[in-house]
Each structure stands twice: as structure tokens, then as C-alpha cells.
Structure 1
Amino acid sequence: MKDLALIGAGYWGKNLARNFNAIGALHTLCDASDEILSSYGPDYAQVKRCKSLDEVLADRAITKVAIAAPAHLHFQMAQAALLADKDVYVEKPLCLDLAQGQQLVELAANRNRILMVGHLLHYHPCVMEIQRLVSSGELGRLQYITSNRLNLGKIRQEENALWSFAPHDISVILSLVGGRLPQEVRCVGGSYLTEGVADTTLTTFKFEAGVRAHVYVTWLIPFKEQKLTVVGSQGMVVFDDTRPWAEKLLIHRNYLTWTDGRSPTPNKVTGEYLAVPEQEPLKQECLHFIECCQTRQKPRTDSAEGLRVLQVLKAAQESLQHDGDARQPQKMLNESASNFYAHPTALIDPLARIGKGSKVWHFSHVMANAQIGDNCNLGQNVVISPGVVLGRNVKVQNNVSIYTGTVVEDDVFLGPSCVLTNVSNPRSQVNRRNLYEKTTIGRGATVGA
């Protein structure tokens, strides 16, 4: 039955469109770009096109929506669709804010709607076989999991490599440990191309019973690697998604011999390729969503699973911002409730940090990785760029712009309409993004008053 609308028909949306159309579910393509909508050829002749989300939500012929829009739009689009009593598939991540993620979980439950997150690897036959091997005990006691997702590109400036690449791997790792959250997360990384946006991150996880894991992601490596390795006491399995299908899944059984029960000796035996059915994971994911909507069964990657992944991502991001300090994902939900005030018209990036007692007023914008201390006051129409640091008790009056590279220490007063820029001689035709100048305003200073 054609009753699904795809919201966001561009970069990744094209893959979803192809699959939902192939299984006979696609009713409407919705995208703000005329160019993107017109790029769909004769295979989509019977599919409606529109540019308005409101038009989609008002159409009673549409009972399901799939959201492939930028991540910062996931919450508002998913919320609107659930309130319109649509079942919802949303690409990873569920959203960017834990409190908002919790709202979506509760909203879907209260309105008896399906809410599924696009954690694609759960629908890959190789990953499903690994999950079976672990749960059946064929690998023995689970010990260690590694996941590397490396490439040169696609380089992003709106989100870092952790949020762009790692959600799939984190989701799979959590499934292999029974859905439990790690006791501890640590994350380190580096920003080399865009200040404040990590191009590479290494995240480590400590679980109960001594299980450990790591996820290494980067778009700044001159080769492609997508490899998941699971180590158990009686076997190791490697999933290499860059290999031909017949060589993607390799198992090493009984890789150790114990002498006198105390001294391990490696058994250097050739691994065994495991045969798994060749199926497109994305198609299986789309079919699963349709099936769940029809039967009302809980999706394999439901909103609760998406929220757990979001908790781990949030913990990793906080650790990354504190140079690898340990964070506990279990505490993230409790700490996600806002301890500052933001006017409804203010725009605050989920990756920004705002201290207790601070206030952000009308039409102000706090961007990713900005750090606002306790008891600060940001007036109307204030812009805080990525990576800016404000200390405690900083007063920022209306119409102030503070650009990347600025550090404002405690108790500073910034008067109305002052601009703290980072380029001495800006020119429209010259890109000086990598030449931003640093500015530090000392404690207790007054500027522009």
C-alpha cells in the first residue's frame, strides 16, 4: 500500500526512496529543493512531490513518514509527525538532545505510534549472524569488541566524526552486550580541518563483567576501512564490509591452547568464511519498518534503543570536550534536564554547553561546541559562534556577536551591539577560516559600554 512519505529526498534520502518505492510503499517525496525533486525519473512517475512538511502531515492518505533530513531537524519533524498520528522512521541519530529524545519516546508510546531509528547495521545479514554467534555462546565469553570506520571524506562541517559515523557502531556494540549501557565512556579526538569539529575520534567503553570495546572513526585517512571484530574466549569473528560478500565474515575458532590451564599459546589456523544470505541491509530495514507498522510489533531498533545510543553519544561528546575524562551514560538522562533558561525563540545547538543559572533570551543563537559558564546572561539577538568560551557571570547585551577564537573570562560585561571578530582584514573573496585570530578578554573587563 502506497502510504509513506519520505521527508528529505537528497543525499541519503535517494537510497530510502529507491527501496520504499521498490517495495510499493512510497506515496510522496517531500523536499525543499526543486532540483532534488526534479531529479527523480520515470520510476517515480506515480509518486507525489511536495515541498511542505505541513502538506504531508495533513494528507490522510499518508500514515507513515520516513525522515532523512539533517540531524538537527529530526526532533521537530518526528514530533510533528507523531502529533499528526503518523508512524515514524527517522535516520540516525534519533535526535541531538537527550531530553528531546525522551520526549519522542514518551510521545510515541502515548499515541501508540511506531517510532523506529535507522541503525542500519542491525539489518545486515553479517551483523545478524554475529549477534547469533554471541547470544548462542559459540564464541564463548564475550571479551572485547573493536569497530573501525575510516575513510577520506565525506568531510562535514556541521557535525563531527563521532556523531556522523559512530552511531551505527555504538548501536551494534550495545546489542552484542545485551542492550546494557557501558559503565564508563572515554573519548579523545582532534579537529584539523574545521575548528571545533573533530575529524577523528577514538571512543572506549567499559562494560560489566570486564567487557571492553572501542570505536575509531575518521574521515581523514587515505584508505577505506569498515571492520568490526568481536573477541570471545573460544572464538573471534571479523566483519569486513569492504570485502566481497562471500569474504565479509571470517571466524577463527579455538584460537588458543592452554598449557596446564595457565599458559596460552595461539593456534595459528586459517579462519573460516561464514556463508550468510546476500541481502541489501537497507531494503531489509525498510521492509521491517513496514511490517512493524502493519503488525504493531516493536521494531528491532525502536526509539528506546535509539535513546540508549543517544545516551552513549552524549557521554562520548562530553568526554571529548574534556580531553577524555570518563563519563557515565547512565547518568546522562538525569543530567539532560535543562538547568538554564532559554527563551522559546532562542536556538541552541545540542553540542553547546550552558552552565547552571544562565539565561539565553529572544532570537539568540548558541552554536556547536560553544561553552557558556554558570550564571551568564545573553540578551536578545546574540550570536555565539562554535568554540567560543564564556566564563562565569558574563553579561552579554543585545545584538552582540562573538566569533570563533574568543575566550571571555569571568565577570565580563559586553555592551550592546559590540562585535568580537576573528579576522583583522576580512575579504569576501578570501577564505581565512584556518587563520582565525585568538582574542582573550580578561576577568572583570567592560567592553563597549
Structure 2
Amino acid sequence: MDATNVTVGLIGAGYWGRNLARCFHQLGVLHTICDPAPHLLAGYREQYPGVRLMPDAATVWDDPSITAVAIAAPAALHFELARRALEAGKDVFVEKPLCLRLDEGRQLIELAAARNRILMVGHLLQYHPCIQKLRELVRDGVLGRLHYITSNRLNLGKFRREENALWSFAPHDLSVILALAGHRLPCRVRCTGESYLNHGVADTTLTTLRFDQHLCAHVYVSWLNPFKEQKLTVVGSDGMAVFDDTRPWPEKLILYRQYLKWADGQVPTPSRSAGELVPVTEGEPLALECRHFLECCRRRQPPLTDGHEGLRVLSVLDAAQRSLDRDGEATEPRPVTGPDAGGAAPPAVAAAGAVAPVAGSNGVFIHPTAVVDPGAQIGSGTRIWHFTHVCAGARIGNNCVLGQNCFVADGVVLGNNVKVQNNVSLYTGVVVEDDVFLGPSCVLTNVTNPRAQVNRHALYEKTVIRRGATVGANATIVCGVTIGRYAFIAAGAVVTRDVPDYALMVGVPARQRGWMSRHGHPLPTPDAEGVMRCPETGFRYREVAPGRLQCLDLDEEAPLPPDLRAGRRPYREFNP
């Protein structure tokens, strides 16, 4: 990588600053090292003879030849040093945590945006090749729906007095867990711990994160443990993955596929196997992290662990510390985006295909590769799958399912229990009522006469799909029409006009070929009284006016009774 236009001033020559100095020097960008301790600077004189050694950080602020600053000072100094660097027009890399207070973190993000500067947080684990591979496994659905994540970071020493084990060890793990969970903040945090060596400084903590009814995580950190352990376990519905950073490279990441079998379809039994080694290209995480920072400075692009990502981790640390102070009482992370936080959605979230927090998202599952913009309303129990994008201003009801590669535009309204299959785009102007089924790759337009060179955004036409209707695979619905209740649009049909309730529409253009029952079966020829009976349920239907069918046994506006929701027989039993 060509990074000749970036020069780095390093502030902090202690334990971790030594590692940063080595990496930046190897990359050919280390210009100055600052530290007020003369004995620390002396250790660099022979090792890096061409690097300037200074006791005062003001030297870095005032030197226009230094374009970027790396901060490896104590966490209590992060805010002030990063603020001074940004005000001096420097790009900033700051070791974890971003700072110690949420309001200070927001100030740094706003200052970096105002000065058009890069702000990156040193969440080192995110740059580990095994973690990058693990994110790919989750993104590609190899593990299925995530159930829980556990992380243990244990060792004997190094003991701290200025920060507890939570703030010293947990930021890396929290950063990874939030990324695997789709960059959502947990809805509830609990943390317990004890102080044994120094009063008020917890030597061991156990933090529990609850994201929704499906996903939780645990982070156990301690510097009072007889052996070193750095292990992350991710358990999903279809597989488990274990990252053990203490193992040699070929054995660091192991995948266990299909670890369960279901006897008689109901009884879970373990399917034990040795697991498979996941091949990962070896690389030093710190060197990769430093290289990423330089590349972001050169290309002016948001880092993977930018200020917004650092603020999300800081919000969880803040919640965990409040819980720790209250002996494990449940807390909620304070918001990091929206009007209460004074900030906009982080651009890196959308670029990475991540998920923004959604208010009132109890029971909501959002796949890590999906994008839900802040401001979207998502009802409880709704599931949003791979690579789907829901825009701000969209309203989605309860218990909906959005399959892979779907798009929901601003202003789209979906009712409850709507099933949207893969590769469906819903544009502004679409209103979908309850219990609607949209088949794979069906198309709903919103402009009758689109032209690329003519802007017709103000002319979007409204398309309404009424309760219980079905739109088959690859069908096209021309904008401005209304699909009636429980209508059935056959696969591949092209609908160009309004469709009555219960109508069966087939062909191009679509024409009515009969009537469909509420359970999705073609209705037979009327009897002498003009009544047609559903072959599955026996419910009676009659054409009460030309082109208007009515169910005589159920109210069209009412949902099905619970005992009728499970289909008794499929369509093929009546049409073999």
C-alpha cells in the first residue's frame, strides 16, 4: 500500500505504545514518539534512530508534517488528547476505549465530522483474520440463526489500579459481539464482579447481554486466573464456531456443523464430531489494524472501527459499569444515535451492511447482513434475513418475515403476519395489509411511465394489497391498482387493473379464471343455490353481485380462528 502521504505521531511510549511504534515504523510512517517519561523515550533512541523523540504532545499538534496521531496513553487521557489532535487537523487512531464518557465520545465524533478527519478506535480483535472469517460465516448463514455467544478473556496479571478488568479486557470482546449481533445495542445488560486486590477495582467480571428473545451473550474477564484463555464461542441453530486465540494458527478457528439431530422430529440429541478446521490466512492483527488506519487516512473512508462503533462499545461498557455498581441490577445502554444522542446514523454501518438499533424491537430478529435504517418501525416477532434493506420511514407490523435480498423503501407499510419471499422490492407507495403472501421475485412498481432522465419522485402511485391476498412468484403488479382480499395472483401473471376479492388471476395480462377460497383452493361450480364450498374447510361462498364474492361463514375483515390457521390439506391433494 502506498502510504507515503501519511506520517504518524505516536503519543504514549509504554507497554502498548511499543507495539504500535513497531508496526507504524515497519510501515514507514512513524515520524515522532511523545511521552513525558524520559526513561521510556530512551529505549527507542537506538531502535528507531530516524524517529523524533519528544516529551511534549504539543510538538505533534504544531507540526504540519504530521498528518495522523496514534494515542496509546491511559484511557483517562483519551478524550483530551484525541480532541486536541482533531482540532489540530490530524487524523486520529485512539486505543480502546474511545474515552470514558458517552458525551465525550459524541463530542469526538462530531468534531471529527466537522473537521473531515478520520477517527478510529483500536478494537484489535476486529482485525484478527479468524474474527474476520467468523464474521463471514455468520454473514453467509453458515451457523443459521444465532442463539448465544460466550467470550472468556482470562489471565494472571497484568494488574491495574486505574481501571477494572471490565474496562481493561472486555472492550475487544464487546466490539466483536456487537458486530456479530448486527451492530445492535443489547436491550438489557447485567454485570457482576468482585474486587480482591484493590478496593473498588474489580478483578473479575461477568457481563450478560440480552439482545432479544433469541440472542444473548456472556463476557467473562479476569486477571486472577491461573492460566491464559482467550476463547470466543458462537452458537447458532445450524452450527457452532469456536475461536481460541491461544491455539496455533491452523487450530484457532473450528466449525461444528449440524451439532444436533432431532429424534422423531421433537427430541434433540447431540451429534458429536471433532469439528472442522477453518482455513485462515495467517496475519498479525495489530499490523493489519495499523495498515487499515493508514489506508482509511489515504482514501478518506470510514474505518471498520470508527468513532460510531467505538461509541456503541462505550455505551455497553457504561451500562455494564452501572450494573456492576448496583450488584448486577439490569440496565439499558444509553442511545448512541437519534435525537437524544445528537448524532446521525454512522456511515460505516450502512457500508458494512449492519443493523441500526430499532426502538421497541422485542423479539425482532435481524440478520447481521441486513440493514435497518434508524427511523424504521419494526413490529415484535418480525424476522429480517440476509442482505435485506429496510429504509427509514418504513413501517413493518408484527410477526412478519422478510426473506433474503429484499428492499423496503421509505413510506412502505406492511401489516401483521406478512410473508415477503426472497428478492422482492417494495417501493414508496406500496401498502400491504395483514396476512399477505408475496412470492419470490414478484415485482411491484410505483411509476407507470418511468424514464431515467425524468424525475417522477413526486408522482409515485399507490398500490394496495388487501388482507390475505397471495402474489405468486415472478408476478408483476402494475402500480396504482388494488388487489382485493384473499385474491390469488398466479405465478408469472401481470396485473394491470384492480382485482376483486377472492379472484384467481392468471396470464399476461392477468385475467380472472375463477374464484379462490380463503384457504387458497379454486372453488367449484356453484350448486343450485349458487353456493360454492371450499374443498378443504367446507366454508360456503356465493357471488352476491356480479364480480363480488362473499364468504357466508366468515367475516372477510377478521383473522382466521386459531383452529383453522393450520392447513389441513395442501392444494395438490385436490389437484393431483
For the criterion TM > 0.5, the same-fold answer is: yes
| Preserved contact between residue 98 and residue 336 of structure 1 (Cα < 8 Å) | no
1:289-330 Cα offsets, whole Å, 9 max, x none, are 000000001100000000000000000000000011111114
Q: Runs of 5+ in structure 2 lacking a partner?
A: 343-576
Q: Structure 2 CA distance, aligned partners of 1:280 and 1:111?
A: 32
The equivalent residue for 1:411 is: none
Matched, 1:277 2:278: no
Q: Which residue of 2 aligns with 1:286?
A: 290
Alignment of structure 1 residues 245-394 onto 2, 5 Å: 245-331=249-335
**Structure 2 length normalisation: TM-score?**
0.57
- Once residues 233 and 118 of structure 2 are traced to their aligned partners in structure 1, the CA distance between those partners, rounded to angstroms, is 32
- 1:260, distance to aligned residue in structure 2 (A): 2.6
Q: C-alpha displacement at 1:9, in angstroms?
A: 1.2
Structure 1 match to 2:185: 181
Letter of the 1:14 counterpart: R
Aligned to 2:196: 192
Shift of 1:335: 9.0
Work out whether residues 185 and 329 of structure 1, in 8 Å CA contact, stay in contact via their aligned partners in 2.
yes
Contact 1:181 1:308 in 2 (8 A): yes
Instruction: Confirm whether residue 67 of structure 1 aligns to residue 59 of structure 2.
Output: no
1:115 Cα offset (Å): 0.2
The letter for the 1-side match of 2:31 is: H
* Amino acid in the other structure paired with 2:303: P
Relative to its length, the structure with more helix (as a share) is: 1
* CA distance in 2: counterparts of 1:99 and 1:222, whole angstroms: 38
> Residue type matched to 1:285 in 2?
E
What residue in structure 2 maps to residue 40 of structure 1? 44
Q: Alignment partner of 1:189: what SS?
A: strand
Q: Displacement of 1:87 after TM fit? A: 0.2
Q: Give the letter for the 2:313 counterpart.
A: V
Q: In the alignment, is the contact (CA less than 8 A) between 2:253 and 2:277 conserved in 1?
A: yes
Partner of 2:100: 96
Q: Which of 36, 41, 62 pairs up with 1:58?
A: 62
Distance 1:249 1:235 in 2: 13
Instruction: Report the residue type matching 2:28 in the other structure.
Output: G
CA deviations over 1:181-215 (Å, ceiling 9, x no partner)? 00000000001111111000000000035201000
Alpha-carbon separation, structure 1, partners of 2:60 and 2:273: 57
Deviations 1:210-248 (A, max 9, x none): 201000000011111000000011110000001111111
Is 1:9 matched up with 2:13?
A: yes
Counterpart AA for 2:38 = D
Q: 1:33: how far off? A: 1.2
Q: Which amino acid aligns with 1:278?
A: E
Partner residue of 1:150?
154
Give CA-to-partner distance per residue, 1:356-409, whole Å, 9 cap, x none. xxxxxxxxxxxxxxxxxxxxxxxxxxxxxxxxxxxxxxxxxxxxxxxxxxxxxx
Work out the CA distance in 2 between the residues paired with 1:100 and 1:335.
15
Alignment partner of 1:208: what SS?
coil
Give the direction of change, closer, same or farther, for the CA distance of 1:330–1:129 in structure 2 (3 Å limit): same
Structure 2 counterpart of 1:113: 117
Identity %: 62
C-alpha displacement of 1:43: 3.9
- The answer to whether the 8 A contact 2:192-2:207 is kept is yes
- The 1-side partners of 2:50 and 2:147 are apart by 51
Alignment of 1:111-150 (within 5 A): 111-150=115-154
Q: Shift in Å at residue 258 of structure 1? A: 1.1
Q: State TM-score, norm by structure 1.
A: 0.73
Q: Which amino acid aligns with 2:62?
A: A
Could you tell me which residue of structure 2 aligns to residue 162 of structure 1?
Answer: 166
Q: Which amino acid aligns with 1:91?
A: E
Q: Provide the rounded CA distance (Å) in 1 between the counterparts of 2:275 and 2:341.
A: 45
Equivalents in 2 of 1:175, 1:89: separation in Å? Answer: 20
Counterpart-to-counterpart distance in 2, 1:207 and 1:36: 44
- Aligned-partner Cα distance in 1 for 2:340–2:138: 33
In 1, are the aligned partners of 2:178 and 2:185 still within 8 Å (CA)? yes
SS at structure 2 position matched to 1:329:
coil
Deviation at 1:42, TM superposition (A): 3.5
Q: Is the 8 A contact 1:183 1:330 kept in 2?
A: no
In the alignment, the residues of structure 2 paired with residue 68 and residue 80 of structure 1 have an alpha-carbon distance, to the nearest angstrom, of 15
Separation of aligned partners in 2, 1:68 and 1:204: 29
Q: Which has the higher contact order (CA 8 A, sep 6+)?
A: 1
- Structure showing greater Rg: 2
Q: Contact conserved, 1:314 with 1:332, CA < 8 A, in 2? A: no
CA contact (8 A) 2:165 2:203 kept: yes
Q: Distance in 2 between matches of 1:72 and 1:203?
A: 22
How many Å separate the matches in 2 of 1:42 and 1:261? 69
Query: Distance in 2 between the 1:294 and 1:42 partners?
Result: 30
- Secondary structure at 2:142's aligned position in 1? coil
Are the equivalent residues in 2 in contact too, given 1:185–1:319 (CA < 8 A)? yes
Q: Is the 8 A contact 2:68 2:90 kept in 1?
A: yes
Structure 1 segment 419-430 matched on structure 2, within 5 A? none
Separation (CA, whole Å) in 2 of partners of 1:160 and 1:335: 29
Aligned partners of 2:74 and 2:235: how far apart in 1? Answer: 35
What SS does the corresponding residue of 1:45 show, helix, strand or coil? coil
For 2:14 and 2:33, how far apart are their aligned partners in 1? 10
Question: 2:473 — aligned with what?
Answer: none
**Pick aligned residue for 1:77 from 81, 87, 108:** 81
Matched, 1:239 2:243: yes
The CA distance in 2 between the partners of 1:248 and 1:173, in whole Å, is 18
Q: Which amino acid in 2 is paired with 1:59?
A: D
Question: What is the DSSP-based 3-state SS (H/G/I as helix, E as strand, rest coil) of the residue aligned with 1:213?
Answer: strand
Shift of 1:274: 1.0
